[in-house]
């Protein structure tokens, strides 16, 4: 039994009627070869089933055609019922697939994981890096950018690094939701805020505070971390400290889901006694009891927009420092 030999560069050159060097230039993406010759080489490659040596190609082109998406979260959080992470991954994957690039997903939910990501990305094993769900003043995006590695973040880096970022309009979205509650006659509007070491948590709280202050209403705040568990604890805290509240804005839909249950357990009717509004518009928001009013953020488009920016930077183009995507109030029966 014999094993079929893999097609070689020389075989492609013979079939295309060109030199080995010309085939190498075409395979490695050179634009100096005339289009008819490129087409002849591509036909020969397809006919023979030639597969380029990626290691050799990387040495020649100084490109890996791979891009990393770094999520500084534990795997249990990334692969939970929080649909933000799958949405970002889906958007990033769609754009990279369309560009014929590879996605390298890296989790950095521990100091060891963070150090591994730093070694891998600073070693230029990828052509660029996307960061999503950053916590605190993480210095890694700025450090990689200073090394000349293309970097784009989801959300403004809290350490002040001059790194391009894409985000949704958290402040404007929350302001729209709270104004809707005020216009509906609610006057004791509480919030279950998100984590204050993340841009999303910080800016959603800013949107709430600015809007209730402009209306002359009191701040009623409890803190969580975007999870159901923290939403349950925050809702119980708010009921204990402010039993007269008549509305709640939750910084995530998962927290809002938990609030609906906690209110039901406390004998409060939604929306008659307490109106509830979330943020995200995850798939299950339309199927809660009652269906959840929420702020829709274009999470898949966020992943796509981040990737488009990164590909432009990797191609040597200049991009905007900040790009904000709009949010939308989706009114359902909970408010």
Given this model, what pLDDT does residue 270 score? Answer: 98
Given this model, what pLDDT does residue 2 score? Answer: 45
Q: Residues 313, 328, 251, CA angle at the centre, nearest 5°?
A: 90
Q: What is the C-alpha separation between 210 and 328, in angstroms, rounded? A: 18
Note the pTM of the prediction, 2 decimals: 0.80
Could you tell me if residue 333 is inside a domain? no
- Residue 209: give its domain's CATH number: 3.40.50.2300
User: What does each of the 335 residues of the chain score in pLDDT, given as a tens digit?
Assistant: 444 577 887 888 898 898 888 877 777 766 678 888 888 888 988 888 877 665 555 545 457 789 999 998 877 777 777 788 899 999 999 999 999 899 999 988 888 888 998 999 988 889 999 999 888 888 899 989 998 999 999 999 998 888 999 999 999 999 999 999 999 999 999 999 999 999 999 999 999 999 999 999 999 999 999 999 999 999 999 999 999 999 999 999 999 999 999 999 999 999 999 999 999 999 999 999 999 999 999 999 999 999 999 999 998 998 989 999 999 999 999 99
- Residue 19: give its domain's CATH number: 1.10.260.40
Count of domains observed in the chain: 3
What domain range is 102 assigned to? Answer: 66-167+300-326
The answer to whether 103 and 96 have CB atoms below 8 angstroms apart is yes
Q: What is the C-alpha separation between 81 and 206, in angstroms, rounded? A: 26
Q: What is the C-alpha separation between 154 and 171, in angstroms, rounded? A: 15
Could you tell me if residue 86 is inside a domain? yes
Nearest to 233 by CA among 254, 217, 206: 254
Given this model, what pLDDT does residue 4 score? Answer: 56
Q: Are residues 253 and 267 in the same domain?
A: yes
Q: Are residues 37 and 132 in the same domain?
A: no
Q: The tokens of 164 are what?
A: 């391009």
User: From start to end of 169-298, where are the E strands?
Assistant: 189-193, 220-223, 247-250, 275-280, 293-296
Q: Are residues 174 and 161 in the same domain?
A: no
Nearest to 246 by CA among 293, 186, 181: 186
Q: Are residues 43 and 104 in the same domain?
A: no
Q: Are residues 81 and 120 in the same domain?
A: yes
Q: Are residues 78 and 162 in the same domain?
A: yes
Could you tell me if residue 3 is inside a domain? no
Could you tell me if residue 1 is inside a domain? no
Q: Are residues 44 and 153 in the same domain?
A: no
Nearest to 189 by CA among 50, 335, 1, 323: 335
């Amino acid at each position: 039994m014999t094993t079929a030999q893999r097609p070689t560069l020389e075989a492609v050159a013979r079939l295309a009627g060109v030199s080995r060097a010309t085939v190498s230039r075409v395979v490695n993406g050179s634009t100096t070869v005339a289009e008819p010759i490129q087409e002849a080489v591509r036909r020969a490659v397809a006919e023979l089933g030639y597969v380029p040596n990626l290691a050799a190609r990387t040495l020649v082109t100084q490109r890996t055609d791979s891009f990393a998406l770094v999520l500084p979260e534990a795997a249990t959080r990334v692969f939970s019922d929080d649909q933000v992470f799958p949405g970002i991954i889906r958007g990033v994957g769609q754009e990279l697939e369309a560009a014929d690039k590879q996605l390298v997903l890296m989790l950095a939910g521990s100091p060891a994981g963070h150090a591994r990501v730093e070694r891998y990305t600073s070693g230029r094993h990828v052509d660029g890096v996307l960061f999503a769900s950053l916590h605190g003043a993480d210095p890694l995006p700025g450090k990689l950018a200073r090394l000349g590695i293309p970097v784009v973040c989801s959300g403004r880096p809290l350490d002040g690094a001059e790194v391009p970022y894409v985000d949704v309009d958290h402040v404007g979205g929350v302001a729209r939701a709270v104004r809707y509650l005020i216009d509906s006659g609610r006057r004791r509007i509480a919030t279950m805020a998100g984590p204050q070491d993340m841009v999303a948590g910080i800016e959603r709280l800013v949107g709430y505070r600015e809007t209730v202050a402009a209306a002359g209403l009191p701040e009623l705040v409890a803190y969580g971390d975007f999870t159901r568990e923290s939403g349950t604890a925050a809702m119980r805290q708010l009921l204990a400290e402010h039993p007269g509240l008549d509305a709640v804005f939750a910084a995530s839909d998962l927290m809002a889901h938990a609030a609906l249950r906690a209110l039901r357990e406390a004998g409060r009717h939604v929306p008659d006694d307490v109106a509830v509004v979330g943020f995200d518009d995850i798939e299950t928001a339309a199927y809660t009891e009652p269906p959840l009013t929420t702020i829709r953020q274009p999470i898949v488009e966020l992943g796509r927009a981040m990737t488009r920016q990164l590909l432009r930077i990797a191609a040597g183009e200049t991009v905007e420092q900040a790009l904000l995507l709009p949010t939308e109030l989706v009114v359902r029966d909970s408010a």
